[in-house]
Amino acid sequence: MITHIREFRARLDLTQNQLAEAVGVRRETIVYLEQGRYNPSLRLAHSIARRLHATIDELFDFSDEK
């Protein structure tokens, strides 16, 4: 899984901490999400997408998986 959270976060000048607090998760979870090592729940993906003014499709790319 490839994520574009970091790029969208940078555009809004948000820190990992600020994003984590906004969506109600630990900063560590944002770190793993940005590295594509954590598969979030639909609810969390939706919260992040809303906070970053993006769609889930824009943030998460599963095209590398079969």
Residue 45 or 54 with smaller CB distance to other proteins: 45
User: C-beta of 23: minimal distance to other proteins in Å?
Assistant: 9
Q: What number of residues does the chain have? A: 66
- Of 3-11, 28-36, 53-61, the segment contacting other proteins by CB under 8 A is 28-36
C-alpha–C-alpha distance, residues 62 and 16, integer Å: 22
* R_g of the chain, CA atoms, integer Å: 11
The stretch near other proteins (CB under 8 A) out of 2-10, 25-33, 52-60 is 25-33
28 binds other proteins (CB under 8 A): yes
Give the whole-angstrom CA distance, residue 8 versus residue 49: 9
| Cβ-contact 51, 43 below 8 angstroms | no
Residues that bind other proteins (CB under 8 A): 20-21, 24-29, 32, 35, 37-41, 44
